[in-house]
A and B are shown apart, each in its own frame.
Chain A
Amino acid sequence: MNRLCVACALLALAWVTSAWAQAPVPVDDALRARLAHLETELRCLVCQNQTLADSNAPLAEDLRREVRELASAGKSDDQIRDYLVARYGEFVLYKPRVRPLTWALWFGPFVLLAVGALAWWRAGRRRADAAPDDDPDPGTHDAPANDTALERAREALQ
């Protein structure tokens, strides 16, 4: 696969020049802005940590062309995403959609935060319970019954 990548990179270089020769579909400014945004949300499958907008891989060029043509044909952003997901899977989306499969991804951090907060709160309450000074019900502990007994206990300990 490394060799394939090197080959792709070389081809990308070779095709940069030929890309200029191809007549692109004419697009107006609003569409161009929309495409620029959409392309940053889509993943290039060849250079996997780059967006479609950033990548020079030939496949990224082809996919940009597809996206441009679909958009010019009046397809919505969601329809374009569906088109790519049907072919390449959810992996093409940099911003995964909220669905049962991605619940852990979207909500997991909040669940962890809630669990952490709960554990923290409970630990704090337990520490408060364990401190005899704040105990609202001294009868449950084997605490000295009154101040003189406490005094006597202190003296005995010295």
Chain B
Amino acid sequence: MARSRTSRTLLWAVPFVLFVVLAGFLFTGLFRDPREVPSPLIDKPAPAFTLPKLGASDTLSAADLRGKVWLLNVWASWCVSCRYEHPLLVELAKANVVPIVGLNYKDKNDLALAWLAERGDPYWTSIVDADGRVGIDWGVYGVPETFVVDKAGVIRYKQIGPLTADVIEKTIVPLVRQLEKS
């Protein structure tokens, strides 16, 4: 009789536990953006590039930034969300916390320069990725995206979609400060 009592308990306990686990997964799923694909590049060396600077004749490569903590912000003049993000970047640049490198993604140089002239230029420098190949190397699939790269040239964080004041204050700035100490 003891066995049948256990199996009767199992009869409702197993489906109940399965239900709770499934409900837990679905519940957390409610608060996650399915468009955010976690990058496999986190904690991996930043992909190498050598690209022309926007509005200048020389180039910049990833190796030139060794020894610095820096941000790579992917932007374009055709990108609507970048308009919301831009004032925050200008503010961050004024605070002089970290150099921001702009990756001008699949844009036209004259439009990009006009965009910066109109809205202010928060970038330490912008580099031109006209055909989007460097973007692919960095796993970019939407604009804007922002990466935090440490002194050793390792990607430590990726923001998919526009930065918010909250993300900058609570994530980016503390992370940069911590990386700068190391």
Contact = CB atoms under 8 A, between A and B. Distances in A.
B and A form one assembly: yes
Contact of A87 (B4, B41, B142, B143): B41
Contacts of A87: 40-41, 136-139
Contacts of B40: 85-90
A11 B78 contact: yes
Given A46-B142, A59-B132, A88-B37, A1 B137 contact: no
B80 A88 contact: no
Nearest to B37: A91
A4 interface: yes
Contact of A89 (B35, B38, B78): B38
Interface string B26-50: 0000000111011111000000000
Nearest to A91: B37
A10 B132 CA distance: 18
Please provide the 6 A-B residue pairs with the shortest distance between their CB atoms, ordered closest to farther. A45-B141, A87-B139, A89-B40, A3-B80, A7-B80, A91-B37
A58 B142 CA distance: 10
Given A1-B161, A46-B142, A90-B40, 10 more contacts: A4-B143, A45-B141, A58-B106, A86-B40, A87-B136, A88-B37, A88-B39, A88-B139, A89-B38, A126-B7
A10 B35 CA distance: 19
Interface of B: 4, 7, 33-35, 37-41, 78-81, 106, 131-133, 136-139, 141-143, 161
Interface in A48-98: 48, 58-59, 62-63, 66, 85-91
Interface in A90-122: 90-91
Contacts of A85: 40
A21 B67 CA distance: 43
A59 B40 CA distance: 18
Nearest to A84: B136
A149 to B, nearest CB: 25
A88 B141 contact: yes
A66 B81 CA distance: 27
6 contacts: A4-B81, A62-B132, A62-B136, A87-B41, A88-B139, A89-B139
Interface string A2-41: 0110111001000000000000000000000000000000
B103 to A, nearest CB: 14
Nearest to A61: B132
Contacts of A63: 136
B156 to A, nearest CB: 17
A2 B80 CA distance: 10
Nearest to B10: A119
